[in-house]
Amino acid sequence: MTRSTSLPIAELAEKISADLGADAVSTDPVKLARASVDWAHMSPILKEKLPAGRADLLVTPRSAEQIPVAVKHAYDLGVPITPRGTGLGNYGQAIPLHGGIVLDTSRCQRIVAVDEGTVTAEAGARMRDLDNELRRTGQELPIFPSTKGSTLGGFLAGGSGGTGSLIYGTNADGFVRALDIVACDGSGELRHVEGDATVPYIHAYGTTGIIARATVVVTPAYDWAGVFTAWDDFDSATGFLRSLGAVDPSPRLVSLDEAVIVGALPEDPALDPNRLSVRAIVRTETVDEVRRLVADQGGEVLDVRADSERVSALSFNHSTFHLQRKYPGIFHLEVAGEKLWSDPDAVRAVYPGTILHLELMRTEVVGMLMASYSSPEQVHDGMERLEAMGVSIHSPHTWILERRIDRVRAVLEDNDPRGLLNPGKLPPS
């Protein structure tokens, strides 16, 4: 853990308190400890490095306009700033590796405007609240994280995709129309960026600027159904997974779990722990077609529900969470590629006892590979073998940013000249 004992925290707290109110700052040890962690412990490699950092000051602005006030004071005094939403990230995005401020934006919750085709809201607005508000106007979010209680700013700065990504891609694929960001440049102002200029701030962990407000694209609201199916073997289940890619209109989400994962999920009559589970969120007008596909390919429909939230809440890393809770000592990799369903035995041979969770995407299959952990060397050696056979990997075992680094570096000189924004999260230049 890197800590500075010479940071002018008392002076900074006094200045921010004078401008934003005493309730906007805290040095309470319990609150600081809580604000300094996320879900990085899901990685046994990162877990061995914890605690990796601790905030010296917690700052909780109440509006987008208050964020630049706090950032300017931190800039003037040379204090690092780590932004935070609800702390649901899995890679240490919100851990303050060099101490300083944790700037918690979760109280900035105002939904500014709901227009036809867009919604504008502050960074702390919950994705569930946004979607509920949009549905009153006949619209919905095209994509949202599998943990729908996440904040808008957290999803954009620390997340990538989720429910709806099968159709619309990631949150960097046109989902963001505009951002109001706070650069750490001493200006004390909100900076407005639009279109392609928003990309350096998406999935950048706040290293390029703190997202204070965002305008994102919305779509007409559709009637969705959650379909739960069970399968006796991997080939049949993945064959069904493939076939769902041709359903028109497209499903919103399709997930597959092997039986050992199903047995670790919360009990549900629509989940058979002795068989593989394929779950999908589909347009209601396609439910009969999906039923026919299941029957034709030898599966069984266990349930169809008007409420599809359950399907979303069992997607992506939620399978990892439940499996690790039942079987401690499991590690995971985020994987993608044709080999996951065309040659799963070759994939499983890399880590004996491999268990797979798959997600159907627009152009490929992605998922979570899970196996028993023994050492960092075991994990990294296996990653090299998987990549050599054509399986691409996004590692959950590092808090170093790995995506769009060139776009990030292109704005750093202007946006963070003193290197105070979430330091320790960028690779060496």
Q: How many domains does the chain have?
A: 3
CA atoms within 13 A on the CB side of 136: 8
Average pLDDT on 158-184 reads 96
The 3-state DSSP class for residue 360 equals strand
Phi, psi of 219 (to 5 degrees): -125, 170
The whole-angstrom separation of Cα 8 and Cα 28 is: 17
**Is residue 416 domain-resident?**
no
- Indicate whether 4 pLDDT > 60: no
The H or E element that residue 226 is part of is strand 224-231
Residues 296 and 369 in one domain: yes
**Is residue 235 domain-resident?**
yes
Residues 235 and 375 in one domain: yes
**Is residue 4 domain-resident?**
no
DSSP-assigned beta bridge partners for residue 300: 230
Burial of 310 (0-12, 13-18, 19+ CB in 10 A): middle
- Indicate whether 1 pLDDT > 50: no
Share of the chain above pLDDT 70, in %: 99
**Is residue 122 domain-resident?**
yes
332-379 tens-digit pLDDT:
999 999 999 999 999 999 999 999 999 999 889 999 999 999 999 999
Residues 284 and 377 in one domain: yes
Domain finish residue from 175, 195, 220: 220
232-279 tens-digit pLDDT:
999 999 999 999 999 999 999 999 999 999 999 999 999 999 999 999
The whole-angstrom separation of Cα 16 and Cα 74 is: 9
Residues 254 and 150 in one domain: no
The H or E element that residue 213 is part of is strand 210-217
Residues 298 and 348 in one domain: yes
**Is residue 308 domain-resident?**
yes
55-113 tens-digit pLDDT:
999 999 999 999 999 999 999 999 999 999 999 888 899 999 999 999 999 999 999 99
**Is residue 429 domain-resident?**
no
- What is the DSSP annotation of 115-144? ETTEEEEETT-BHHHHHHHHHTTTEE-S-B
The whole-angstrom separation of Cα 60 and Cα 103 is: 6
- Indicate whether 3 pLDDT > 80: no
How far, CA to CA in Å, does 79 sit from each of 185, 368, 382? Answer: 12, 37, 39
Average pLDDT of the residues of the chain: 96
The whole-angstrom separation of Cα 28 and Cα 31 is: 5
Residues 300 and 203 in one domain: no
CATH code of the domain containing 210: 3.30.465.10
Domain finish residue from 77, 104, 131: 104
pLDDT band, very low/low/confident/very high, at 5 (cuts 50, 70, 90): low
CATH code of the domain containing 338: 3.40.462.40
Residues 278 and 386 in one domain: yes
**Is residue 291 domain-resident?**
yes
How far, CA to CA in Å, does 96 sit from each of 71, 143, 158, 382? Answer: 15, 28, 14, 30
**Is residue 192 domain-resident?**
yes
Residues 54 and 127 in one domain: no
Domain finish residue from 62, 78, 104: 104
Phi, psi of 298 (to 5 degrees): 90, 20
The whole-angstrom separation of Cα 4 and Cα 99 is: 7
SS (H, E, C) 292-358: HHHHHCCCEEEEEECCCHHHHCCCCHHHHHHHHHHCCCEEEEEEECCHHHHCHHHHHHHCCCCEEEE
Domain containing 138: what range? 111-220
CATH code of the domain containing 47: 3.30.43.10
Residues 65 and 199 in one domain: no
Residues 67 and 95 in one domain: yes
Residues 244 and 300 in one domain: yes
Residues 191 and 232 in one domain: no
Amino acid at 220: P
